[in-house]
Amino acid sequence: MAVSPEFIEELRSRITLSDIIGKRTKLVRKGQRMSGLCPFHNEKSPSFYVNDAEGFYHCFGCGVNGDAISFLRESDGLEFIEAIRRLADMAGMVVPEEAPVDKQKIERRKTLLDALERTALFYQSSLTSADGAETRDYLAARGLDVGVIKDFRLGYAPRDGLRARLHQHEIADDLIKTAGLVGVSDKDGSFYDYFRNRVMFPIENRQGQIIAFGARAFGDAKPKYLNSPEGPAFSKKAVLYGWRQARERVRRTLPLVIVEGYMDVIAVSRSGVAAALAPLGTALTEEQIQLVWKLHDEPILCFDGDAAGQKAAARALERLIPLLEPGRSARFATLPEGMDPDDILKQDGVDGLQRILASALGVVDALWMQKSAEYRIDDSRTQPSARAAFWQDMRQLVKTIAHNQTRQAFLDDLDFRINSMRAATKGTFGTGVHRNSNQRTVINTRRPKTGRIVQYRAILALLISFPESFGECGEQLSLARFSDDALEEVKKAVIDHLIRDPDLDAGGLRHHLVESGMNERLEEIFSPDTTARFGMPPERLPANKARVMLIEAITRKPGHRMKRQK
């Protein structure tokens, strides 16, 4: 359905953006703008700004931006026309009439979703019946209480009765079949309930509407897990189980974990350690990766510790790499062999799962570990040609990253590791000394070149001395990544304080940094070397000169020297 630009413009003019966003996160007025904690990523200090006059929002932390339509689409997972309709309701406007064919499709979809919702209610009521006793015992044995069962809307599918129940609500057989709720016998063409004698897991879309079901069999019945067939409302590759519950938990600043199964999602969610999502019995797809990033910019993939789980993690890693962008990455947690997250929680409790998630590897580390095992790099009998193939394979994968700057950053990191490995092997293979098969090449954490450290210190010295310059360079600085962890921490602290209090002067800013335990870092930043570089203490520079130097230092390429002041 097409909506005219004139209608959209009129709609934007009738709504106040902060009224919509203010229902999701607390906003505080800062001059002509309002600020608050970003509803799209985890943060402790506000970096999210709303401008009602222009109808625009922007986060300096994660880079998300847009208007009221994009906010509803991102936060509630709405399609464009659904966001338009919701805003129109708020503004007291009527969306232009659709064509008759569109009305029919919308009405059919509404009936389809109604059938699925009534099916969920049927399964929920069946769980409390006498026939649902086995399912209730199973869920109790898995440690699920009434609250969790209600939150995830778990149920029981009896051997029959669903079709008759839907007929009571005047839902026709053709639509019941389209919804994937009945099958047709090859023998006589009769209908039968698609799900029978199974534990039922309703699958919701991003709006919280039920679009399909997952089901687990009892005993040795096959298949053990069964999903709804795909149809007009359901495409497995574009849906993740547990979205509604995960969104609520991510908004409470919990990390997001991607697991394999329904019970793992429920176990992780009820533990309070993290939010959780799961693909629907298939490998994680590109569409699902993009969906995950709508909730969290660095999810943790935590697949089962068996061979199938690790194979799934390897496929997910290779699918994720081409999609990497600034602020969008992932980490990979490794579980003990043969265990899943639910097993960990039962055996080691919340602390055990937290330890595993805390030790999750970054993308390059995970790729390095996976490929080094594949090429047997740690085996003393491995030939140099295998190492060359290992390096080439790693580079080829990283080169698939579509985003230019991200691709180059990952190639820089990878080249450093390869060069370190090459230098290490010169001292072992080159001299005829073989490594023990239990020894691993230690790849040191990369440190930036001295020139870059000087550049970072200069930027921080100027910004701390002249915080009023932040308004001109704040966005560029927020997007920049210092490759020195200690200075990156100072940079983030400075940005947080200046976003929280834009009127903070140099003395107040330094006081806050000292109170945060960064006194030693400040001494490094304002060292005699920094004074010599500027020709005077940075705080004594003319304000205009300092502003120009700061912007130039942030935007110039590493290695170019800053002009010394006379």
> How many CA within 13 A on the CB side of residue 16?
6
The residue segments making up the domain with residue 397 are 367-426
Which two tokens mark 209? Answer: 């509407």
**Of 290, 318, 206, 301, the residue nearest 255 (C-alpha):** 301
Is the separation of the CB atoms in 317 and 367 below 8 Å?
A: yes
Let me know whether 291 and 333 are in one domain. Answer: yes
Q: Is residue 437 part of a domain?
A: no
Q: Is residue 434 part of a domain?
A: no
Which two tokens mark 279? Answer: 């693909």
Radius of gyration from C-alpha coordinates of the chain? 28
CATH number, position 38? 3.90.580.10
Let me know whether 227 and 124 are in one domain. Answer: yes
Let me know whether 333 and 409 are in one domain. Answer: no
Last residue of a domain, one of 211, 234, 257: 234
Let me know whether 300 and 412 are in one domain. Answer: no
DSSP state, residue 212: E
Let me know whether 322 and 345 are in one domain. Answer: yes
Is the separation of the CB atoms in 390 and 377 below 8 Å?
A: yes
Let me know whether 132 and 196 are in one domain. Answer: yes
Q: What percent of the chain has pLDDT over 70?
A: 91
Q: Report d(CA 11, CA 1) in Å as an integer.
A: 17
| pLDDT > 70? residue 138 | yes
| pLDDT > 60? residue 434 | no
Last residue of a domain, one of 39, 71, 91: 91
Q: How confident is the model at residue 31 (pLDDT cuts 50, 70, 90)?
A: low
Q: Is residue 500 part of a domain?
A: yes
Let me know whether 106 and 229 are in one domain. Answer: yes
Task: Give buried/exposed letters for 466-475 (b at 16+ CB in 10 A, else e).
Answer: bbbbbeebbe
Q: Report d(CA 232, CA 393) in Å as an integer.
A: 40
CATH number, position 160? 3.90.980.10
Strands (E), 115-185: 155-157, 182-184
* Confidence (pTM): 0.63
Residue 263 burial (CB count, 10 A): 20
CATH number, position 328? 3.40.1360.10
Let me know whether 35 and 127 are in one domain. Answer: no
DSSP state, residue 469: G
- Summarize pLDDT for 46-103 with one digit per residue, the tens: 889 998 877 889 998 888 889 999 999 888 888 888 899 999 988 888 888 765 556 7
Please give the mean pLDDT across all residues of the chain. 85
Q: Is residue 324 part of a domain?
A: yes
User: How many domains does one find in the chain?
Assistant: 5
Let me know whether 412 and 332 are in one domain. Answer: no
Q: For residue 210, what are the CA distances in angstroms to 76, 116, 165, 268, 450?
A: 15, 6, 17, 21, 56
**Of 448, 456, 452, 533, the residue nearest 487 (C-alpha):** 456
Q: Is residue 291 part of a domain?
A: yes
Last residue of a domain, one of 210, 234, 258: 234
User: Residues 502, 508, 513, CA angle at the centre, nearest 5°?
Assistant: 100
User: Residues 23, 73, 59, CA angle at the centre, nearest 5°?
Assistant: 65
Let me know whether 371 and 480 are in one domain. Answer: no
Q: How confident is the model at residue 2 (pLDDT cuts 50, 70, 90)?
A: low
Q: Report d(CA 4, CA 9) in Å as an integer.
A: 9
Burial class (CB in 10 A: 0-12, 13-18, 19+), 188: exposed
Angle between helix axes 404-426 and 363-374 (nearest 10 degrees) is 50
Let me know whether 295 and 185 are in one domain. Answer: no
Q: Is residue 435 part of a domain?
A: no
| pLDDT > 60? residue 406 | yes
3-state helix, strand, coil in the chain (%, to 5): 50, 10, 35
Let me know whether 206 and 161 are in one domain. Answer: yes
Residue 150 burial (CB count, 10 A): 10
Whole-number pLDDT of residue 114: 95
